[in-house]
């Protein structure tokens, strides 16, 4: 296995599946933070490991007049994990902006795409965790929030079974600062309700952890985390993961 001139034969690669919507894909301004330069981070692209670069997740723009694909939480996550464990870190980007949880259920395109790419990565890496950040789109519906726990546990249990792994699952809170006047989304208090659901998931789903995000800043679109916040959030994901594998 090689990546942009780097020969990785014989090297241990720990890989991480990145799924969810736009705050997992990353909308941070690349000019806001210093770039992460770590040659032991690689990204799965076109079925092979390639050199890490920003953006990690080549996501479509849901609001092309408001958002730019950029810095993601996976970058600081990967850097912290690689520094702590020493092995190569492989990122498997499969997040898709603007998507609801129902679109990630078994049999749906997003689920099948994540499953395909994770299996591809597992040919020459050890899948070590699943990172999930999603929920803003579900806050438009009381029904979606009320069914979130049941749907998520079904989805993640099926995904781990289909992959043949029992790895940690890390989830992040969503921001309660989403502004319905900017986005024309009538979310009411559902972000806070959904964050409570995440902790219910954590209590029922073994080997899972929720990380704090309610204190982090949003961009002026009042939906996506700033680059600085994404760096912090990624480090929190890394800390949660490292604690789970101790």
The structure tokens 């034969």 sit at 9
Number of domains, the chain: 1
- In three state form, how does the secondary structure of 22-54 look? HHHHCCECCCCCCCCCCCCEEEEECCEEEECCC
pTM: 0.94
- Integer CA distances (angstroms), 34 to 75, 76, 82, 136, 227, in order: 11, 11, 18, 27, 10
Q: Which domain holds residue 19?
A: 2-244
Q: What is the pLDDT of residues 171-183, one digit of tens each?
A: 999 999 887 655 5
For residue 145, give the CATH number of its domain: 3.40.50.1110
Q: What is the pLDDT of residues 32-75, one digit of tens each?
A: 999 999 999 999 999 999 999 999 998 776 555 655 789 999 99
Q: What is the pLDDT of residues 177-223, one digit of tens each?
A: 887 655 567 888 999 999 999 999 999 999 999 999 999 999 988 89
H or E stretch including 122?
none
* CA separation for the pair 224, 95 (Å, rounded): 14
Backbone CA torsion sign across 236, 240, 241, 245: positive
Q: What is the pLDDT of residues 120-149, one digit of tens each?
A: 999 999 999 999 999 999 999 999 999 999
pLDDT above 50 for 30: yes
Q: What average pLDDT does the structure give for the chain? A: 92
């Amino acid at each position: 296995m090689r990546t942009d001139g780097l020969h990785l034969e014989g090297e241990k690669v720990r890989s991480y599946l990145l799924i969810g919507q736009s705050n997992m894909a990353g909308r941070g301004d690349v000019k806001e933070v210093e770039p992460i330069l770590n040659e032991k981070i690689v990204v799965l692209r076109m079925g092979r490991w390639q050199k890490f670069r920003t953006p990690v997740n080549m996501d479509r723009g849901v609001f092309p007049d408001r958002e730019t694909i950029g810095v993601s939480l996976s970058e600081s996550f990967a850097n912290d994990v690689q520094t702590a464990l020493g092995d190569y870190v492989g990122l498997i980007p499969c997040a898709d902006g603007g998507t609801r949880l129902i679109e990630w259920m078994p049999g749906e395109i997003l689920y099948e795409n994540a499953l395909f790419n994770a299996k591809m990565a597992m040919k020459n890496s050890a899948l070590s965790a699943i990172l999930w950040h999603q929920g803003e789109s579900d806050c438009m519906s009381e029904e979606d929030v009320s069914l979130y726990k049941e749907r998520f546990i079904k989805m993640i249990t099926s995904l781990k079974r289909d992959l043949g792994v029992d790895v940690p699952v890390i989830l992040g809170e969503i921001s309660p600062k989403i502004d319905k006047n900017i986005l024309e989304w009538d979310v009411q208090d559902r972000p806070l309700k959904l964050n409570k659901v995440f902790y219910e998931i954590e209590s029922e789903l073994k080997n899972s952890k929720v990380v704090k995000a309610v204190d982090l800043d949003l961009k002026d679109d009042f939906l996506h985390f700033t680059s600085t916040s994404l760096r912090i959030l990624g480090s929190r994901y890394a800390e949660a993961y490292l604690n789970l594998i101790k």
